[in-house]
Structure 1
């Protein structure tokens, strides 16, 4: 038996409102839209992972999602220009990631990161 993918399902009364955050900010494509559910994806190859955390590191709260990107500085600048709620500023962490936390339209804290 092999896990092929892991899909977080975030509740929203208005799934379409995710387009600006997950589409415009992160560049994810809509691969399914049934009205009651909108699924965003990337064609980049991934490895299924799930993390269980007591905190987010560096004294932060554990985020709801972590999304790795190839250009963290570009995404951070885009988040700023979109006037999104950045709850943890862009930081080089001692364990080798550069990251920031931003609140999505549903109040979820998203850890956007790149490995250095």
Structure 2
């Protein structure tokens, strides 16, 4: 048996608001829209992972979702320009990532990161 994908589902009363948040910050495209559920995706394949943690590292809360991007500083710029409160970072962590935390419109804590090159 092989896991083919893992998809977090985010409950919301406003699909449009949350869709715009994620597509605007992360350039995700709508790949499915049934009205009651919209799925966004990038054009890249990713490894299926689940993080299990007692803390978020460096004394932070465990984030609901971690999103790895190729340019964390660009996403940070977009987040600030969009008026989203940065709750942590951007910070270069001792385990080799640069990251920051924000909340999505539903209150989910997002860990946005890039691995050091």
- TM-score scaled by length of structure 2: 0.96
Deviations 1:21-60 (A, max 9, x none): 1101111111111111111101112110001111100000
Q: Considering only aligned residues, what root-mean-square deviation do their CA atoms show, in Å?
A: 0.8
C-alpha contact (below 8 Å) 1:66/1:113 kept by paired residues: yes
2:47 aligned partner: 47
In the alignment, structure 1 residue 2 sits paired with structure 2 residue 6: no
In the alignment, structure 1 residue 27 sits paired with structure 2 residue 27: yes
Give 1:20 deviation, angstroms: 2.3
The runs of 4+ residues in structure 1 deviating greater than 4 Å are: none
In the alignment, structure 1 residue 85 sits paired with structure 2 residue 85: yes
CA distance in 2, matches of 1:86, 1:60: 13
2:95 aligned partner: 95
Unaligned runs of 5+ residues in structure 1 are none
Unaligned runs of 5+ residues in structure 2 are none
Q: Secondary structure at the match of 1:21?
A: helix
1:108 aligned partner: 108
How many residues are paired up? 116
